């Protein structure tokens, strides 16, 4: 599939060979136990019990693996995937580097759980500077970071990690495998939430880990199967169905983000604008070389919580919701979740609305949110 474009790859990823009378994507298989061969037992068929075995889940894993360029294992959520990865790789006495500006629940898990079992946790801003990696077991980066959208040079950091004997894992949630291919850039592992732009319909929870290392994939698989952090068959089927439109969705979302960023940059009542696709953005020099397309997510500051509420309340096309990457444009005031952002900080996730309609609606809502208007 590597010779095909993103749209073709998204449509055909993980599909079985065509068979007359069969659907393009087989429907979900719902099973806890399966029939076993009375003589051979579980060795007689690929499916024995639903926790480790499910054909619907395997098709999804094949699809995401094709897009990421590695072997994939899916999890019940992004948080299940990333915590499963951390607990698979790390042991008491190990040192892990995590993004100081990354997803807040991951940082909370590290301080509440990893440190409690004797893992040394260090936090580093996504954009660096990074300390010496000597003695570090795992470096986890999130690029672009959520919610601040800083970017790190994955290839350069992968070289440093390799030289120090450390593993590098990249959270690819914001970029998606169509926006960035961390394994090709030298990362050992990719982890992501499939809840967001990967599937894009705001109707399921999903996570995954991918790698080109058979040893790491085997370890992650054992953790996933032992802890039971699996997605249901219907969620796996919904996710695979949704991959076919990913290229189309991301194209509109990125175009909308570019137009909205231009609008916000022109307004003196908006501060702190971040979108890695803007040449003026600090992340642009690295993002423009490393990323294959820019995300539909941007961030900015409206000064205080009341102004954010007035803005969202006045908007007709922007709704208040957490998460991002869906078909509908959403705004999330991150401070309300305990994230260490300012009270007026907004993460805006552009949907697939017509660009002109979305820009006009946001401009009107910002005008209406002005207390002097």
Token pair of 220, please? 């992650």
Alpha helices in the chain (DSSP H): 6-12, 55-68, 78-89, 104-109, 154-164, 214-227, 233-243, 246-265, 284-290, 305-314, 355-369
Other CB atoms within 10 Å distance of the CB of residue 111: 12
pLDDT in tens, 15-28: 999 999 999 999 99
Same domain, 135 and 117: yes
Nearest alpha-carbon partner for 154 in 174, 177, 184: 184
243, 265, 295: which is the final residue of a domain? 243
Q: Is the pLDDT of residue 127 over 80?
A: yes
Residue pair 192/81 in contact (Cβ under 8 Å)? The answer is: yes
Give the Cα-Cα-Cα angle 193, 195, 198 (nearest 5 degrees). 80
Nearest alpha-carbon partner for 368 in 269, 300, 275: 269
Same domain, 205 and 350: no
Q: Is the pLDDT of residue 215 over 70?
A: yes
The pLDDT value recorded for residue 3 is: 81
CA 225, distance to chain mean position in Å, is 22
Q: Is the pLDDT of residue 36 over 70?
A: yes
Kindly indicate the confidence band of residue 1, based on its pLDDT and cuts at 50, 70 and 90: low
Same domain, 236 and 251: no
Other CB atoms within 10 Å distance of the CB of residue 282: 14
CATH of the domain at 67: 3.40.640.10
Same domain, 152 and 286: no
1 within a domain of the structure (yes/no): no
The pLDDT value recorded for residue 341 is: 93
187, 208, 243: which is the final residue of a domain? 243
Arithmetic mean of pLDDT, 52-65: 98
* Cα–Cα distance list, 290 to 1, 60, 151, 335, 345 (Å): 21, 26, 9, 30, 27
- How far is the C-alpha of 54 from the C-alpha of 46, rounded, in Å? 9
What phi-psi label fits residue 200: left (phi over 0), alpha (psi between -120 and 50 degrees) or beta?
left
How many domains, the chain? 2
163 within a domain of the structure (yes/no): yes
The pLDDT value recorded for residue 340 is: 86
Residue pair 115/121 in contact (Cβ under 8 Å)? The answer is: yes
Residue range of the domain that includes 337: 247-369
Kindly indicate the confidence band of residue 30, based on its pLDDT and cuts at 50, 70 and 90: very high
Q: Which range has the worst mean pLDDT, 38-42, 81-85, 93-97?
A: 38-42
The pLDDT value recorded for residue 117 is: 96
Residue pair 293/274 in contact (Cβ under 8 Å)? The answer is: no
Other CB atoms within 10 Å distance of the CB of residue 156: 15
Same domain, 225 and 256: no
Average pLDDT value over all residues in the chain: 96
Same domain, 271 and 226: no
203, 222, 243: which is the final residue of a domain? 243
The pLDDT value recorded for residue 27 is: 94
Other CB atoms within 10 Å distance of the CB of residue 88: 19
The pLDDT value recorded for residue 373 is: 59
What phi-psi label fits residue 108: left (phi over 0), alpha (psi between -120 and 50 degrees) or beta?
alpha
pLDDT in tens, 172-206: 999 999 999 999 999 999 999 999 999 999 999 99
pLDDT in tens, 310-358: 999 999 999 999 999 999 999 999 999 888 899 999 999 999 999 999 9
Same domain, 304 and 321: yes
269 within a domain of the structure (yes/no): yes
Q: Phi/psi at 174 (nearest 5 deg)? A: -70, -40
- How far is the C-alpha of 124 from the C-alpha of 103, rounded, in Å? 13
Residue pair 24/244 in contact (Cβ under 8 Å)? The answer is: no
Same domain, 252 and 343: yes
Which residues are within 8 A (CB) of 363 and not within 5 positions of it... i.e. 6 or more apart? 263
The pLDDT value recorded for residue 338 is: 85
Same domain, 197 and 49: yes
CATH of the domain at 334: 3.90.1150.10
Same domain, 165 and 28: yes
* Cα–Cα distance list, 309 to 217, 241, 343 (Å): 44, 35, 11
Q: Phi/psi at 204 (nearest 5 deg)? A: -160, 160
* Cα–Cα distance list, 131 to 94, 155, 232, 245 (Å): 16, 16, 41, 40
204 within a domain of the structure (yes/no): yes
* Cα–Cα distance list, 149 to 165, 196, 231, 307 (Å): 28, 15, 28, 22
Same domain, 260 and 351: yes
98 within a domain of the structure (yes/no): yes
Arithmetic mean of pLDDT, 111-124: 97
Same domain, 359 and 270: yes
Q: Which range has the worst mean pLDDT, 37-41, 142-146, 202-206?
A: 37-41
Arithmetic mean of pLDDT, 209-221: 98
In terms of pTM, does the model score above 0.85?
yes
65 within a domain of the structure (yes/no): yes
Kindly indicate the confidence band of residue 244, based on its pLDDT and cuts at 50, 70 and 90: very high
């Amino acid at each position: 599939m590597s010779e095909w474009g993103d749209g073709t790859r998204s449509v055909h990823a993980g599909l079985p060979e065509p068979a007359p009378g069969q659907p393009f994507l087989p429907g979900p298989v719902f099973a806890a136990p399966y029939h076993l061969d009375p003589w051979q037992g579980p060795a007689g068929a690929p499916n024995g019990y639903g926790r480790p075995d499910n054909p619907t889940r395997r098709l999804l894993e094949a699809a995401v693996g094709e897009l990421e360029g590695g072997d994939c294992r899916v999890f019940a959520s992004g948080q299940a995937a990333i915590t499963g990865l951390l607990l698979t790789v790390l042991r008491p006495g190990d040192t892990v580097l995590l993004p100081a500006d990354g997803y807040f629940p991951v940082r909370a898990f590290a301080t509440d759980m990893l440190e409690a079992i004797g893992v040394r946790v260090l936090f580093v801003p996504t954009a660096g500077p990074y300390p010496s990696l000597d003695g570090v077991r795992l470096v986890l980066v999130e690029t672009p970071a959520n919610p601040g959208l800083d970017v790190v040079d994955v290839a350069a950091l992968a070289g440093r990690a390799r030289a120090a004997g450390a593993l590098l894992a990249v959270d690819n949630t914001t970029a998606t495998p169509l926006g960035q291919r961390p394994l090709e850039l030298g990362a050992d592992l990719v982890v992501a939430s499939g809840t967001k732009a990967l599937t894009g319909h705001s109707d399921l929870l999903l996570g995954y880990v991918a790698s080109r290392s058979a040893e790491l994939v085997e370890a992650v698989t054992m953790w996933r199967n032992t802890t039971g952090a699996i997605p249901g068959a219907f969620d796996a089927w919904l996710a695979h169905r949704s991959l076919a439109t990913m290229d189309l969705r991301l194209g509109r979302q990125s175009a909308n983000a570019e137009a909205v960023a231009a609008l916000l940059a022109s307004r003196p009542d908006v501060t702190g604008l971040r979108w890695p696709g803007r040449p003026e953005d600090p992340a642009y020099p690295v993002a423009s070389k490393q990323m294959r397309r820019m995300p539909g997510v941007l961030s900015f500051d409206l000064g205080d919580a009341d102004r954010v509420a007035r803005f969202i309340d006045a908007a007709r096309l922007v709704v208040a919701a957490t998460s991002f990457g869906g078909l509908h444009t959403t705004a999330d005031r991150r401070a309300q979740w305990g994230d260490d952002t300012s009270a007026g900080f907004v993460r805006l996730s552009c949907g697939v609305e017509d660009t002109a309609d979305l820009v006009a609606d946001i401009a009107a809502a910002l005008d209406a949110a002005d207390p002097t208007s």
